[in-house]
Each structure stands twice: as C-alpha cells, then as structure tokens.
Structure 1
Amino acid sequence: MKPAPFDYVAATEMGEALEALHQGGTEARVIAGGQSLMPMLNMRLARPATLVDITRIPELSRIEAKGDNVTIGAAVRQSTLERWPDLADRVPLVRAALPWVGHTQLRNRGTVCGSVAHADPSAELPLCLIALGGTVTLRRRRKTRAVAARDFFQGMMSTDLAPGEMITSVTFPAHKTGTGYAFREVARRHGDFAIVACAAIARPDGTATLSVGGVADTPRTLDLPADAQGLDEQLNEFAWHLQARDDLHATARYRRDLVRQLGRATLKEALSCRD
C-alpha cells in the first residue's frame, strides 16, 4: 500500500516548523528519520494531512554536553549518537543499548527522539531515558516545557505530546563517578523487537535501579535500597506486577522468567562495573 495524500513541509527553521504544526493541529505529524512513521503511512495506520520535515533545522542536529546532562536534538540520528566520541564516558548506558536498536541501516536513518516519540514499549532508547531519569523537551508555537520521561510515556505508543507540539530534544543525565551501568536484552534475533530488555544502574551508596521494557505497556522501574535483602523475591514480585501477556513472540510465563533471570544478571553486571 501507499500513503494517503498529505501536504509536505520541509522546514528550515524552528518557527516554520512550529507554525506548520500549529496550523495542522491534530492532523499534522513530524517526520525526521521516518523508520517508524513511514511503515505506518504505507499501511495507512496513520493518515496525517500534513507532514513536517525537521531534518533541515540546524539547531535540532546537535549533541550538547553541558554540566551533568547530555542533550540530543530531535534530528540527531541514532548512528550519529553511536559514533559520538564522548558517548561511552558521558552516557555509558546508552552506549551499551544502541547496538541493540534495530540494525545498522535503521540506525543510519532513525533518530533518537523519533524512537522516544513513537513510544514502543519494547524500544531501547525510551527504556534508557526512563532508567536514567531523563527529560523530554516539548515545544509549541508559544510555549516550551520539559517533562520527566516517567511522565511522558503514558501507554503503548501513547505520550504526553499535545496537538501542535513537537519534541525538540531529550536530555540524559551524564555518568556519575562510582556508578555502574548495564544493558541486556533477549530477542528472537538480534535487531528484532525485545522480548524483554533490562537496564540497570548501581550507585555508590549501594542503591540500584532496574528498568524493564517489552513486558508492560511502558518501561517500568524497580528501585532497590542499599544492601537489599531477598532480591529473588523482589524480582519475582516485580515480574508479576508487570502483568505480562502472551503474544506471538513469547508467553507471559517466559517473559516473567526473563525478568527474574535477565534482571538479576543485569544488576550483577552493573554492580561489577562501578568505577
């Protein structure tokens, strides 16, 4: 199939893009990499009246490391971030997760913010953003707001993005000395959607965070206190709390087992990686 007819705006500055989105309202969509949107257009699952291309806006193609944060513009491709020389030092969790994001060809076109906007519960980058406590910056014609990642994702492919609004950047907290990070995933084949993905953060004070994607409608997080006792019991309770469902990729029971086993292994790796 081919997309339904739509108007195309190739914006070269933010004002132009925001005005087009304002005029289009609920019938306007942003396109950058198009790796999620184009298949939906071709299958006519999405029928926007206007597509606003933001790839020509210079300020959206920047990676900025300032203080304790790394900010990724909405037009930054996943492969660009993957090749950023400071990635391993500044955001090691994202560095560990990026090779699991699709295949090289997809990362060459797909954008970081596009994955966040699509809000697939199996996607690796939204999982990392939630695990690290990152933020999403949203902008409309006369307003800019920053939303915590845990509040931005509201359900399966559902976000806090309002009509006429676009993501301009996402911000990841940078690596802190003494903290360990780990990412693991199980999929039917490398590059496929995750059956279960785990991101773990182990802090100098002994506390840890395990975030899990691919099970619930959004990535979910388990915060573990210092010297946590009964880890197996906590992981088992967390696995049931996620309310896994059977689908064509895996059974609910298999997903629960992965949360227990992959979760423990990812936490152990994060603890061993503390510098």
Structure 2
Amino acid sequence: MIAQNFEYVVPSSLGEAVNLLEKHTEHAKILAGGHSLIPMMKLRLATPEFLIDISRVPGLSYIKEDSGTIRIGALTTHYTIETSDLIRRRLPALSDAAGLIGDVQVRNKGTIGGSIAHADPAADYPASILAADATIVALGPKGERQIPASKFFVDMLTTALDRNEIVREIQLPVKSGKTGSAYLKMAQKASGFAICGAAALIELDGSGALSNVAIGITGVANHAFRAAKTEAELKGKKPSADVLKKACEHASDGVVALDDIHASADYRLDLARVFARRGLEAAIGR
C-alpha cells in the first residue's frame, strides 16, 4: 500500500521543528530514522498531512558521560549505541537491546529517540530505559521538560509526550560499585520484535548481597513495566539460584498481558518470569 499524500518539511533546528509541530499539531508527525513511522504510513495506520523530518538537525547524535550521567542524543542510531565502548562498559543492557533491534539496515538508520517516542509495546529499548531509571528530555513550545522513564510509557503506542513535544535527549544515571546489567529476549521470528524481553540491572554490596535490583519487561503488556515485586523481594539478599527463581515467580504479578497470534497471555506471563531470571543471571555474571 502507498502512503497518502503529505507535505514534507525539513527544519534546520529543533526549535524550528517544535514551531512546525505546534502549528500543525493534530496533522503532523516527526520523522527521524523512519523505521517505525514509514511502515505505519504505508499501511495507512498513520496518515499525517505534514511530515517534519528532523534527521538533518545538527547536534542530536551523541553519547557522552557528564557528571555521573550518560547522555544520548535523540538521533543517535541503534548501531552507534550497540557499538559504543561507553555504553558497553557502563550500561551493557542498552547495548544488548540496540544490537537485537531489527537487522543491520534498521540499526544503521533507526534512532533511539524515534523508537521510544513510537512506544511499540514489543520494542527493545523500553525495558533497559526503565531498568536504568532513565530520564527523557523533551523540548516543546514552553521549553524543556524532564520525564522520568517510569512515567514515560503510558500505553500501547502512547507516551507522556505532549502533542507538540519532541524527544531531545535520554539521560541515564551511572551506577557506581559492583554493577552489572543485561537484556535478553524471545523474538517473534518474522519481525524480530520481542514476545518478551527483560532488562536487569543489579548492584552488589561488599558482602555479595543485592543492594539494588531493577528489572524492566517489554513485549508482554500494552507497555513496558518494572517487575516491582521481584525487585523488592531480592533487595538485600544474596543472589543464589533458588533465591532468584523464587523471586522471579512474581515478575508478572498483576500484569494484564497481550494475547495475540504470536503468543497467548498466559505464555507471555510465564516468559516474563523466565526472562526476568535469565536477565538477572546474565547481569550478575557481568
């Protein structure tokens, strides 16, 4: 299918893009890498009258560490994140996630800002973004706004962004001490999207007990979520196999799971428990 007709505009700055979005709010979409939006337009699931291409806006592709925070520009590609030495050292779960997105062509063009703004319930980044307690920096007509990852993913294809806001940066606090993180998933064979993906981030104290545990789950529900009950049960305990298995039995407690042609709701809930444990084991192993 061919997308409906639209007006294509290329702003030279993010401020100009915000102004265009404000002017055409209900009829405009932001284009970055295009690997989420363009397929939806071709299927006419998205029918914008104005397409605002920010891919040429300078200064939005970077990865840097500043005062204990990793900052990633919205136009940074999946491949750049996958291969970043800084990300691999500081937050390997995010590198894992980037490396499991689509194929090489998608990873070379798709962007982290576009992916999280699209908020596909089976996307890879949200689990790691949640586990890392990230902050999403958005720019709108009233200036910048910081949105905690815990409040960013609202529903299927829905975020806390206002209609006239654009993701500018993702901020991830750097953990100190003995830490590890990992992201694993079961992918749908044809698309590569997650039927279930789990990101785990852990910190160990001097005795080898878990001083901090964070687990993000994607692909299971309408939006990514934290396995809060499992996290609470593990904190302060030494991560033996039995302790991990018992705690992860609660990873999907209270979750309303998706039920579709790819997997039943019950299967997804079970996968969440399995992949939470596997993610933790991988994170501890690092």
TM-score (ref. length: structure 1): 0.92
Root mean square deviation, CA, Å = 1.9
**4+ runs deviating over 3 angstroms:** 228-234
SS at match of 1:144: strand
Partner of 1:246: 259
Equivalence for 2:280: 267
Which structure 2 residues correspond to residues 115-264 of structure 1 after superposition, within 5 A? 115-189=115-189, 192-205=192-205, 206=210, 207-222=212-227, 223-224=231-232, 225-227=235-237, 231-264=244-277
The answer to which of 33-42 and 241-250 deviates more is 241-250
Q: Distance in 2 between matches of 1:245 and 1:93?
A: 24
Runs (5+) with no aligned partner, structure 1: none
| Structure 2 runs not aligned, ≥5 long | none
**What SS class does the counterpart of residue 146 from structure 1 fall into?**
strand
CA distance in 2: counterparts of 1:14 and 1:268, whole angstroms: 41
Q: What SS is found at the alignment partner of 2:71?
A: strand
- Higher mean displacement: 128-137 or 20-29: 20-29
Aligned twin of 1:50:
50
| Separation (CA, whole Å) in 1 of partners of 2:189 and 2:54 | 32
Contact 1:63 1:72 in 2 (8 A): yes
Task: Confirm or deny that 1:85 pairs with 2:100.
Answer: no
Q: Deviations over 1:108-148 (max 9, x none)?
A: 11001111001012111121111100011111123210000
Conserved 8 A contact 1:79-1:107: yes
- CA 1:13–1:162 in structure 2 vs 1: closer, same or farther (change >3 Å)? same
SS at match of 1:93: helix
Query: What is the identity, as a one-letter code, of the residue corresponding to 1:208?
Result: V
Using the aligned pairs only, state the percent identity.
33
Compute the displacement of 1:158 (Å): 0.6
Alpha-carbon distance change, 13 to 245 in structure 1, aligned in 2, over 3 angstroms: closer
Following superposition of structure 1 onto structure 2, how do residues 20-31 of structure 1 map, counting pairs within 5 Å?
20-31=20-31
> How far is 1:246 from its partner?
2.6
For the Cα contact (< 8 Å) 1:135–1:172, is it kept in 2?
yes
- Map Cα deviations across residues 48-80 of structure 1 (whole Å, 9 max, x no partner): 121111111112122232121111112221112
Find the aligned partners of 1:71 and 1:188 in 2 and give their Cα distance.
31
CA contact (8 A) 1:129 1:149 kept: yes
Aligned partner of residue 195 in structure 1, secondary structure: strand
Deviation at 1:82, TM superposition (A): 2.2
1:8 is matched with 8
Q: 1:170, 1:142 → 2: CA distance?
A: 19
Number of equivalent positions? 273
Q: Secondary structure at the match of 1:179?
A: strand
8 Å CA contact 1:200, 1:267 repeated in 2:
yes
Q: Distance in 2 between matches of 1:184 and 1:106?
A: 19
Counterpart of 1:267 in 2: which secondary structure? helix
Bigger mean CA offset, 137-146 vs 149-158:
137-146
